[in-house]
A and B are shown apart, each in its own frame.
Chain A
């Protein structure tokens, strides 16, 4: 091609309209700058708020060490009726001889969050695969919004359902040691986590290019072989991210565990006993604690511990995923 497609003069500023176009250029430039600084300010503000939350949390949490030692957060001592002194793992912040062991709360959190994540992973990933790979487009059009709506149900409603209906159902079915227990709470948690995992898994699977599916089918793979050997491995990082997010949600969830777990800080590994999580403890006690007391700061310290746990969980998961991605092999 030797000729220009567009006549040249269209791009040149002729003397009579040069003043006008200069004006346009200037106003466009101002607009660009304004838009840019608006987004920069909004982004920075969000970041600053988050950082301030951390600073506040740590500042209050650190005060817990004014009167409580680090060891007190792990174990306490109790004088028994016969006068002997025993080492105990109890959360009794309002007792005369206050005990601040976080271990029962930590166990409560893990005992509800881990089973909930395991159940939700199995069901949620399967639901995601169904939505992305198997469901008829029309069925999917209906199911995906329903699933997302489910994630939007206030957790207090789910907690109430588990408290009233779920707990009775499992009591009749499994005869647990306590009617309200960690298992009932984790089933309640799955109601919020399954939609999270299913929806994000579906997104991850759908983002795998059609080319890869064609390649697998072209080589004679069946639908299931294509899903299990090509699509799931290719979407590995997205699917793992959905599970990690689900686990984070399980640890952070408050209302369901507060209502359905029995809310007794037992130092136990038994899933059918009442439990109490860290989040539920903060929610239940923060309203009644006297500000500035040891108990008040101890609750903030629980917040710090929660933050540290989720932070490291995310960090480790991120490292695993980026390593897998770098290797690019499954």
Chain B
């Protein structure tokens, strides 16, 4: 039996009057990859952002319910959101590197935590770049602008940057949707490698990708969680008809 990492109970999220997430409950297992699939606007990205409270930044967004990470309620009033986000890395759909050097991008998080020792920072850069499988491509050009890298490299650098704050959860919001097949394959390979040490939650539009990379798959539809189960089961004999219809391409 695997260890429980995130536990969500009866979560509702509203943008003003509009309900975006409707009574979601799910458990996410530690050091496994959980994929969220579903048609556009089904709430899967919104739900991903619930997990590191990125929705706090949006006005008129109200949340009820409980989200426990390692048994701690992350919506507790006394919880420091900044510390929470440091424990949870996030990778976005579009690479969003800062207009700084490759080096400065990676050490941005550590620097926020007060790490300024040059040797320590160098170690962090090498370690995270190796983890993100981009070290060989950037080691000779760490002081070049990060935006001079290719799209796929930029996205892997975003992963390295997220790893540099030493999170234990990695949230990925369609990390490969803007990439070519070769870069996508590299990212997927990387996810496979990373799950040894990290709990990974990935939102994807691409069902083959979900099938390839994930251990668990959750299917969202119209703000509701329809089904969550082992990926092998979801893609072979899902227990809900809607899931089967979506996976076989009958809608969405």
Binding site for B on A (CB under 8 A): 137, 209, 211-222, 225, 229-230, 233-234, 327-330
Contact = CB atoms under 8 A, between A and B. Distances in A.
15 contacts: A211-B92, A213-B57, A214-B54, A215-B161, A217-B54, A218-B85, A218-B89, A219-B86, A219-B162, A220-B82, A220-B165, A233-B98, A233-B100, A328-B100, A328-B148
Given A219-B162, A328-B147, A214 B112 contact: no
B168 to A, nearest CB: 13
A211 B147 CA distance: 14
B151 interface: no
A214 B97 CA distance: 11
Given A230-B98, A234-B98, A329-B104, A220 B54 contact: no
Nearest to A211: B96
B136 interface: no
A215 B109 contact: no
A225 B112 contact: yes
B12 to A, nearest CB: 23
B82 A221 contact: yes
B83 to A, nearest CB: 7
Q: Which of A220, A225, A230 has the most CB of B within 10 A?
A: A220
Interface in B146-169: 147-148, 158, 161-162, 165
A327 B144 CA distance: 8
Contacts of A221: 82, 108, 112
The secondary structure that dominates the A interface is: helix
Q: Which of A219, A221, A234 has the most CB of B within 10 A?
A: A219
Contacts of A212: 96, 98
Given A212-B96, A218-B90, A329 B54 contact: no
B184 interface: no
Contacts of B97: 215
Interface of B: 52, 54, 57, 59, 82-86, 89-90, 92, 94, 96-101, 104, 108-109, 112-113, 143, 145, 147-148, 158, 161-162, 165
A209 B96 contact: yes
Nearest to B108: A219
A233 B100 CA distance: 9
A230 B89 CA distance: 18
B146 to A, nearest CB: 8
B165 A330 contact: no
A38 B148 CA distance: 40
A233 B92 contact: no
A327 B146 CA distance: 11
A214 B96 CA distance: 8
A219 B85 contact: yes
Contacts of B147: 328
B132 to A, nearest CB: 15
Nearest to A212: B96
Contacts of A218: 52, 54, 85, 89-90, 92, 162
Nearest to B96: A211
Given A215-B92, A217-B57, A329-B104, A222 B98 contact: no
Contacts of B83: 220
Nearest to B85: A220
B145 A219 contact: no
Q: Which of B57, B101, B112, B143 has the most CB of A within 10 A?
A: B112
B92 A330 contact: no
B99 A233 contact: yes
A230 B162 CA distance: 16
Contacts of A211: 92, 94, 96
Contacts of A230: 98
B85 A217 contact: yes
B166 to A, nearest CB: 11
A299 B54 CA distance: 61
Contacts of B165: 219-220
B101 A329 contact: yes
B157 to A, nearest CB: 11
